[in-house]
Chains A and B, each alone.
Chain A
Amino acid sequence: MKLNRRALLASGIAALAMPRVSFAQAETIKVGVLHSLSGTMAISETTLKDTMLMLIEQQNAKGGLLGKQLEAVVVDPASDWPLFAEKARELLTVSKVDVMFGCWTSVSRKSVLPVIEELNGLLFYPVQYEGEESSKNVFYTGAAPNQQAIPAVDYYLEELGVQKFALLGTDYVYPRTTNNILEAYLISKGIPKEDIFVNYTPFGHSDWSKIVGDVVALGADGKKVGVISTINGDANIGFYKELAAAGVSAETLPVVAFSVGEEELSGLDTSNLVGHLAAWNYFMSADTPENAAFIEAWKAFIKDDKRVTNDPMEAHYIGFNMWVNAVTAAGTTEVDAVSAAMIGQEFPNLTGGMAKMLPNHHLTKPVLIGEIRADGQFDIISQTEPVPGDAWTDYLPESAVLEADWAELKCGMYNTETSTCVQLKSNY
């Protein structure tokens, strides 16, 4: 938030400084990496940039792709949303990349969308998000709400018997939309609207005493209360500190978080948080040989034995490998051919089972629920069968009638009631 204009004009100068011809006939396949390396999102996104560099290095060691070496083109959109659009345009028109991996926040993706749809680029988006979108040019390797939020709520309802919900979130699009979907879902499950408490706080909020007090007070009518947290980033630190201070134990008032993973917990003393929950498609503690190999390779690449792995990293791992296989299958890096070859690709998850790319450009993934351990890792206490990602949620009336299918219907927003394609381009 704090960086506005300082990096605004970056792309242009760089573009001018680089003679265009040097890119015209390169003998490498170019992979654009569009993650913020400075600004507020750098903390999360830098890790993903490193993940991509590692994956590309591994692929080159295996002999590259289509007989050519892969070349990473890394740019820094500096957590500045307009800059994401500029950098994407620069990657596509100046560096002429064949594929891009990038973005973290929804707003950055929405900023990039018009550019890649105009120029027919290809983007792999690795983060869990609010859904309600399926672009021809984007593959969503993170979780849609039905792959993270809904199973977590089911777990609350069925396994913990929670009857009253506190939906706490940072005030931006992901928590807003997710909470809307959850509210509709809970009402459909018979939870009355009065029993759903919603609160939004600004980014980086630190004064949590009143909100935690309010949530504890929800238990006054004898119902079991559960917290669903979509609180983002460093605001979580104050929140968990206040929870611990208020003596709220996971047994009486469980908190399930959708944005807190191994990386975030490494900045916290977790001994007071044992038993609180997180829902993801991947946990570092998953006990499979693929995961062990991935963690080992990561620690070796980053040269730090203490670094953790997390869910968006796995998303990039699956997305990148699927792209490699799709390119091999298509025999070209041309976007339309690769997009067509992507649908139906299968690749093993790090947590076991196969991820499959669906016609709506989302993955099937298992949903894992973990309990925080004292060492900052998670005990996986529930793992579902692979859940197909749903671009348009079934729990909001406007979205329930929509469908995305790029294989048969060739449409990302298809109204099944009127059997028409509402629009080919995405909303942004």
Chain B
Amino acid sequence: MTRSFFARNPSALIFIAFLALFTLAVTLMSEGLGAGLISTSFVKTLGKTLCLCLVALAMDLIWGYAGILSLGHMAFFALGGYMIGMWLMYARTEEIVVAALSQGGLPATPEEVQQGIATQIFGVVGSSDLPAIWSFAHSLPLQLILALAVPGLLALVFGWLAFRSRVTGVYLSILTQAMTLALALYLFQNDSGLRGNNGLSGLQNLPGLGQTSQDLISIWFFWASALALALGYLTLNWVVSGKFGSVIRAIRDDEARVRFLGYPVETYKLFVFTLTALIAALAGVLYYPQAGIINPAELAPIASIYLAVWVAIGGRGRLYGAVIGAAFVSLLSSLFTSGRLPDIPLGPVSLNWVDWWLVLLGLAFVAVTLLAPKGIGGLFDRFQGVIPPDRKGAPLGPDDGSLQEQEAQQ
């Protein structure tokens, strides 16, 4: 076992190389640094897609490898975004307030600056006091720590409670869904201190960089997202290819047996749950400054379900599958909903893509679940000549996972 990491995982090398080429190509075509062939808004879109790919990777680890279908991971993603958004808003507003107050003849006291910022940020939602949760918003390092610590701690506590009482399977899915719903409802309240339904906005304007064009900022964020995705991919590839990976796959396949073998199943699950929450939070930190606005609708249960959809369509249990799924479905989805595709005339009625795309997506999803559980990633198996055992047919034994008719005949 002395072979290098890349030699053991050729797919990682291919992936990194592809990502690097892609980044270079986009940079060369961008308005900020290149020929201007693709618009700044599309660079932002691509940057955001990379962040979505990163959170899909996390989803793949927890669902595809560990078998825990969490329907709440977008909560961690959004929480990361909220935390970085707080600093962005605070620091940007501070610049404005200090400039405005210094015009008044007297230098501003810290209390006045604080009050001014509070009025600016919360005046919009009819309040003028800075809530306690904004105590650290003045400092980028502290808020960055919070961006990971808050989702991480939430995942740790929630996971500990849930795994400790052996909540598994669909119950866990529903519980995680309830978690993200509760969080979304909480944030929808104005009293939550995060501006309720309005959320945090203007995040694309970086403090101190007022004069820098968005053309440039978008490219920086694109690079950061690409780097984060590459690092995330390598980390997760390393995690799943070692002994740890074998244990979590075993937990997915038969939790009770792993427990009887003496492994602390709950600890493993808790670790995976928290790690993926951290990765999701990191993706959120990079995503929302590009989106420009975050509001509680981002935490709605449906967002997390879409995350599962991406991973399922891309192919569970393989990291590149998750990335392909997220990029493919989200980009396709935007193409169909852009309203620019021509309607298809069908006799008396015409088929409007904006209206019917969701129907198509829903049915495609059902078809993938039923007919091609391996998703798009399954195509790669075909290329490599990997033929999985065909597990259709009636079971021969009473337990789940027993040999199936057609397997026995082979």
Contacts and interface: CB of A to CB of B under 8 A. Distances in A.
A27 to B, nearest CB: 21
Most A-side CB within 10 Å, residue of B303, B334, B340: B334
Task: State the main secondary structure of chain B at its contact with A.
Answer: helix
A106 interface: yes
Given A14-B340, A107-B295, A427-B124, A4 B302 contact: yes
Contacts of B11: none
Contact of B297 (A4, A10, A14, A118): A4
Contact of A10 (B189, B292, B335): B335
Contact of B338 (A10, A107, A118): A10
A76 B339 contact: yes
Interface string B293-310: 111011010110010000
Contact of B123 (A10, A132, A425): A132
Contacts of B185: 202
A6 B41 contact: no
B40 interface: yes
Interface stretch (A208-216, A242-250, A416-424): A416-424
Interface stretch (A89-97, A218-226, A261-269, A307-315): A89-97
B128 A398 contact: yes
Nearest to A392: B123
Contacts of A37: 339, 354
Contact of A86 (B45, B96, B357): B45
Interface string B308-348: 00000000000000000000001101110111100000000
Given A81-B199, A81-B293, A90 B354 contact: no
Could you say which interface size class chain A belongs to? 35 or more
A202 B188 contact: yes
B203 to A, nearest CB: 9
Interface stretch (A50-58, A173-181, A371-379): A173-181
B114 interface: no
B144 interface: no
Interface stretch (B1-9, B190-198, B247-255, B393-401): B190-198
A93 B31 CA distance: 11
Interface string A58-75: 000000000000000011
14 contacts: A6-B361, A10-B337, A13-B334, A38-B337, A78-B337, A82-B294, A85-B204, A110-B201, A111-B293, A114-B201, A420-B100, A421-B100, A428-B201, A428-B202
Interface of B: 38-42, 44-46, 48-49, 52, 96, 99-100, 103-105, 119-121, 123-128, 185, 188-190, 195-199, 201-202, 204-205, 214, 291-295, 297-298, 300, 302-303, 306, 330-331, 333-335, 337-340, 354-355, 357-358, 361
